[in-house]
Structure 1
Amino acid sequence: MDHQQDKSGVIQLVSAMVLSGTIGIFVTEAHQEAFNVVFFRCLFGAICLTAFCLIKGYLKLSYFTKKTTLLIALGGVCIVFNWVFLFKSYGLTSITMGTVLYHTQPFYVVLLGIPLFKERVSPSKILWICLAFVGMVFVTNLQSGDLKGAYVEGVLYSLAAAFLYGIATIVAKRLKGIPPHLIALCQITLGMALLYPFTTLQAVPLAGNHWFWLAGLGLIHTCIMYILMYSAFQKLDTAKIAVLSFIYPAVAMFIDFILYGTRLTPFQGLGVTLIFLSSIAVNRNWNFAFVGQKKAAVP
């Protein structure tokens, strides 16, 4: 039974990560401002998740206290603006660049845990994080003297998106006992209200294939993907989740190359490797052999 659950969880998470890897295409092909894209993602996603939560019986007021409501709201602010910044980065850099830099998010979770929860970080984790940021410099080619302002802006947007997602992750860990699908529904519903003042909905044509891409972001990447992902999270251990999560950027980079011809230099490829390796290492608590670690007491 456990083996079957594990197998089912792997299939669900792989499917979710493959879907995640196609987000950049939908955002790019919608040809809309980032605020408009996220607004419609929230709208179509809310419609689908409302139906799902109704069927599952998740729509209960008993889940909400003053504390949980505030945490859900905080997480919602971070989630929707994380999407806005990430989607902005696609247009200013590339899907590949935005996605790779977005995957510095695990390091922000670790770093934020130090001042917020007084968590102790091992010397090995500090070294892995430093190695990842060296990789970030390689990937972004920041050592180049001919960087354009728009490119640097895109890099900063993707890093800001990763930082906000790190905060949202910390908030989500403190929301115990509430169905994650209901949390997501509340957050994207709040997102529509937050984003509306920044949108230019009057500029969105009433007819056109952009509606296919916008509706897809809501149905596929917010409803179906989240259902698969959260179901998998309940069945798999953290280490397996951390490794399988790298299917997302791998698919995104492959599709960006096939459809838009985005290529990385060998130097940037080394940077990608450093970021991904460091992220897995931080999630799996890998230690450097030359760094002294405290040995567990033997009873």
Structure 2
Amino acid sequence: MNKIALIQLSIAMAIFGSIGLFSRLTGLPAIELIFVRSICATLFLLAVWLLTRTYKKETWDKRELLMITLCGVSNLFNWIFLFKAFEVISITVAISLYHIGPILMLVVGAMIYREKLSRGIMIAMFACFVGTIFIMGTDVFTAETPNWQGISYGLLAAVFYASTMLLGTTFHKTSVYMTTLIQMFTAVVLLAPFIKYDSYQHLTNTQWFYALLTGVVHTGIVYLLLYSSIRNLTPTVVSFMVFIDPAVAILLDIIIIGFLPSSLQIIGILAIFFGLFYAIRPQKKVLIPPAK
């Protein structure tokens, strides 16, 4: 287990946990917000790539560059469907649906990499998912008229999230800076023809601040940490670590704001940390007796 990678991914997931709130504070439609995020992240990552002189050590592999671009397209659809879900259903329900993604990643990743899934791993993943639903509250269960459009957006976001993360674990030659830069620039190019540019004319300074913040912090920095970490962790561990963001979000509410969670939410937090602990715990080494 790479502890540094584990810490990086934990920080990335914790920051990402607040993206739903910040997206609404920008006052921008989904596509226009993603466009701003992509531009900010592209400029930020380009500056870091140049300042760190990583370009001098860059390894250019055509096949990997193509896969990175495809991963960027998958990530773009992940964003589009997630933010569209935020627009039409509650953040809590959207995030709950989004966390089907790690389960898909776990199953597909096990098939691709022939990684055996024990009964304990499956139980731990189920505990994390149920814990997330408990943390989000009873909104998931009590909607009188389900918004199937929003639910579809959330599920599609989960599918593209899983494919993005699985592709991201295969990049090893290209630097983390260039990997993320290519993906962000791909999003800028693909979105440019579809943007309603007049959406930006009426934004207040505060809304611009939140939009730029999501671009630099929630996109540039988070994706640097993300792609730096997942190439050094197994798909199983990455699948579990995604569940950090809902747990951290409510823990911050408890510590900073003084929020008192319900008994159901406390059970949800404990369930998530049980699953995480099981997934990242040190494995016992099997001692092979010497041949006689």
TMscore range, shorter length:
0.7 to 0.9
The corresponding residue for 2:95 is: 99
Match for residue 163 of structure 1 among 159, 171, 174: 159
Residues 180-191 of structure 1 aligned to structure 2 (within 5 Å) = 180-191=176-187
1:218 matched to which residue of 2? Answer: 215
Aligned partner of residue 116 in structure 2, secondary structure:
coil
Which residue among 261, 275, 279 is the counterpart of 1:278?
275
Do the aligned residues in 2 keep the contact of 1:77 with 1:187 (CA within 8 Å)? yes
1:74 and 2:70 aligned:
yes
Opposite residue 209 of structure 2, the aligned amino acid is: F
**AA of the residue aligned to 1:222:** T
Contact 2:58/2:175 (CA < 8 Å) preserved in 1?
no
Q: 2:123 maps to what in 1?
A: 127
Partner in structure 2 of residue 177 of structure 1? 173
Relative to structure 1, the CA distance from residue 237 to residue 124 in structure 2 (aligned partners, 3 Å threshold; closer, same or farther) is closer
CA distance in 1, matches of 2:233, 2:119: 28
Taking the aligned partners of 1:92 and 1:286, their CA distance within structure 2 comes to 43
Partner of 1:89: 85
- Counterparts of 1:82 and 1:264, CA distance in 2: 30
Q: SS of the residue aligned with 1:109? A: helix
CA shift in 2, pair 1:245/1:174, >3 Å: closer
Cα distance, 1:224 vs. partner?
Answer: 3.2
Q: What do you get for the CA RMSD once the two structures are aligned?
A: 4.4
- In the alignment, is the contact (CA less than 8 A) between 2:240 and 2:276 conserved in 1? no
For residue 211 of structure 1, what is the amino acid of its counterpart? Answer: W
Rounded to whole Å, the distance in 2 between the matches of 1:263 and 1:153 is 32
Deviates more, 1:195-204 or 1:226-235: 226-235
Q: Determine whether 1:195 maps to 2:182.
A: no
Instruction: Tell me the distance in 2 between the aligned counterparts of 1:122 and 1:148.
Output: 38
1:63-101 Cα distance to aligned partner (Å, 9 max, x none): 333311221012111212212222223333333443344
Q: Is the 8 A contact 1:96 1:253 kept in 2?
A: no
Matches within 5 A, 1:140-151: 144=141, 146-150=143-147
Residues 101, 159 of structure 2: 8 Å contact kept: yes
Counterpart CA distance in 1 for 2:203 and 2:140 is 45
Using the aligned pairs only, state the percent identity. Answer: 29
Contact 2:34 2:80 in 1 (8 A): yes
The residue matched to 2:24 in structure 1 has which SS? Answer: helix
Q: Tell me: CA distance 1:115–1:75, structure 2 relative to 1, closer, same or farther (3 Å).
A: same
Query: What is the rounded CA distance, in whole Å, between the counterparts of 2:244 and 2:173 in structure 1?
Result: 28
Aligned residues: 286
Deviations 1:230-277 (A, max 9, x none): 66779999999888765532343467899xxx9986556645654564
Task: Check whether the contact 2:33–2:211 (CA below 8 A) recurs between aligned residues.
Answer: yes
Kept in 2, the 8 Å contact 1:109–1:167? The answer is: yes
- Give the aligned residue type for 1:78: S
Q: Deviations 1:162-201 (Å, cap 9, x if unpaired)?
A: 3322211221121112211211110010011222344323
Structure 2 residue identity aligned to 1:281: Y
Q: Which region of structure 1 is more displaced relative to structure 2, 237-246 or 199-208?
A: 237-246
Change (3 A) 1:204 1:136: same
1:248 aligned residue: 245
**Runs of 5+ in structure 2 lacking a partner?**
none
CA-to-aligned-CA distance 1:178-231 (integer Å, 9 cap, x gap) = 211211110010011222344323333255232212111112222233445566
1:20 and 2:10 are equivalent in the alignment: no
**Are 1:47 and 2:31 an aligned pair?**
no
Structure 1: runs of 5 or more not aligned: 288-294
Q: How far, CA to CA, are the matches of 1:108 and 1:284 in structure 2? A: 22
- Please give the alpha-carbon distance, in whole angstroms, between the structure 2 residues aligned to 1:161 and 1:256: 26
Please report the TM-score for the alignment, with normalisation by the length of structure 2. Answer: 0.74
Q: 1:34 aligns with which of 27, 30, 37?
A: 30
CA shift at 1:30, angstroms? Answer: 0.9
Q: CA shift at 1:37, angstroms?
A: 0.9
CA shift at 1:27, angstroms?
A: 0.4
The answer to whether the 8 A contact 1:132-1:278 is kept is: yes
Deviation at 1:47, TM superposition (A): 0.8
Q: SS of the counterpart of 1:120? A: coil
